[in-house]
Amino acid sequence: MDAIEKTTAPLFLGILLNYALYGVLSLQLYVYYVNFRVKDRRPLQILVYSIYILDTIQTGLTTWDGLHWFVYGWGKASNLQEPVASSIDSPFLGGIIALAVQAFFCWRIYQLGRSKILSGVIFAVSLIAMGGGMAAGITSVILNDLTRVQKEDFIQTYIWLAGSVAADTLIAGATLYLLHRSRKNSIPETNMIITRVIQLTVQTNCLTAAVAIVTFTLFIAFPNQNYFMCPPFFFAKLYSNTLLAILNHRLLTRNSLMSPPMIVLGTKIDDDLETLSGLPSPGPRRPASAIVFNRANHSIDTGMLSPALSPASNNVRFSALPDFK
């Protein structure tokens, strides 16, 4: 591969993957809007739509980068050394989006474990990672030369990427532990849901952590190449898609509970199904007098429950699932 191709290929692939994940994100947002625009609380909706707006801005800035490098600067090798807007759309905006999503996971962990210390530590690590990303972006703007970034922007980039890996690993580990702990006294239907939530959480957080590790490895292993610039173009989209995948997963959870002969109406983990995975319950909570609704004879059955899971247990709080329209 020629020198010019080694320079342009990472930029071109990064921009293409950014567009691809933006398309996936748009589809996920549509699914979320159709199913949860009324049910979810306003703060959560503001978070979702704000992240999508930031991602749209990031995609626009990425388009500007591509036009400068491959259209207006066609045949001009010097243009490839200019960061254009990549310093802002990759580490700067990417750091803000990552912090917003990680803050949501911190809140989710608090809902599951009620530990302010654990949630606070993870949020602090996420905040440090965002600070590193913003500092890396600002330094790149000042340098205005991509060939100098790896030498003079090393510490900021290290804090950004290492902090992201640490935060994602802590989130995955904490959520895995808390959800696994909640399985011990749960009924089989609940265990099935918890297993799915565990799988989704570990997969999504491990994916973002892995991409951060790959980026940092490229940054260190190839000091004279810009290979490391490919993943940051779509890094923020991974976080945004992770958030919406977690939220939209409630649809699959509900569908799994609606199969005959029984519908689970409550769990011991929290006040309703949504908080089973640490998610906010959509709409007002309503009390329920039983756990299982038998679809065969339309009767409510509490006799199937063990004493530990009976409505009289002090460790159990019950509520009906909100209706999905």
For the question of whether the overall pTM of this predicted structure is more than 0.85, the answer is: no
> Which of these ranges, 7-11, 171-175, 188-192, has the smallest mean pLDDT?
188-192
**Tokens 């994602």 belong to which residue?**
168
Q: What pLDDT does 270 receive?
A: 36
Which has the higher per-residue pLDDT, 263 or 204?
204
User: With contact defined as beta carbons under 8 Å apart, do 122 and 172 qualify?
Assistant: no
The residue among 16 and 276 whose pLDDT is bigger is: 16
Q: For the segment 267-310, what is each residue's pLDDT rounded down to a tens digit?
A: 333 343 444 445 554 444 444 333 344 444 444 444 433 344 44
Give, to the nearest 10 degrees, the angle between helix 154-182 and helix 188-221. Answer: 170
At residue 12, the pLDDT reads 94
Q: Strand 262-264 to strand 299-301: parallel, antiparallel, or no bridges (unpaired)?
A: unpaired
Question: Stretch 76-93: mean pLDDT, rounded?
Answer: 88
- DSSP code per residue over 155-167: HHHHHHHHHHHHH
**Which of the listed CATH numbers 1.10.3470, 1.20.58, 1.20.1070, 1.10.10 matches domain 3-257?**
1.20.1070
pLDDT > 70 in the chain, percent: 74
What pLDDT score was predicted for residue 235? 94
> How much is the pLDDT for 175?
87
pLDDT digits (tens, 9 = 90+) for 195-240: 777 788 888 888 999 999 999 899 889 888 889 999 999 999 999 9
The predicted-structure confidence for 98-142, as pLDDT tens digits, reads as follows 999 999 999 999 988 888 999 999 999 999 999 999 999 999 999
| The pLDDT of residue 95 | 94
Task: Measure the CA–CA gap between 96 and 129, rounded to whole angstroms.
Answer: 9
Angle among Cα 75, 77, 80 to the nearest 5 degrees reads: 115
Element containing residue 301 per DSSP (H, E): strand 299-301
Which pLDDT belongs to residue 149? 84
For residues 183-195, average pLDDT:
69
- Nearest CA among 7, 6, 10, 8 for reference residue 231: 10
The string of pLDDT tens digits covering residues 28-67 is 999 999 999 988 999 999 999 999 999 999 999 999 999 9
228 neighbors 220 (Cβ within 8 angstroms): no
On the question of pLDDT at 250 being above 90, the answer is no
Query: Any idea what the Cα angle at residue 293 is, between residues 291 and 298, rounded to 5°?
Result: 150
**Phi and psi torsions of 62, nearest 5°:** -65, -40
What CA–CA distance (Å, rounded) separates 122 from 315?
A: 28
Task: Determine which helix (DSSP H) or strand (DSSP E) holds 294, and give its type and residue range.
Answer: strand 292-294
Of 69-73, 250-254, 301-305, which range is least confident? 301-305
Please name which of 183, 197, 186 lies closest in space to residue 108, comparing C-alpha atoms. 197
Question: CB burial class (10 A; 0-12, 13-18, 19+) of residue 43?
Answer: exposed
The pLDDT > 90 percentage for the chain reads 49
Q: Between these two residues, 254 and 220, which has the higher pLDDT value?
A: 220
How do residues 150-173 score in pLDDT, each as one tens digit? 888 889 999 999 999 999 999 989
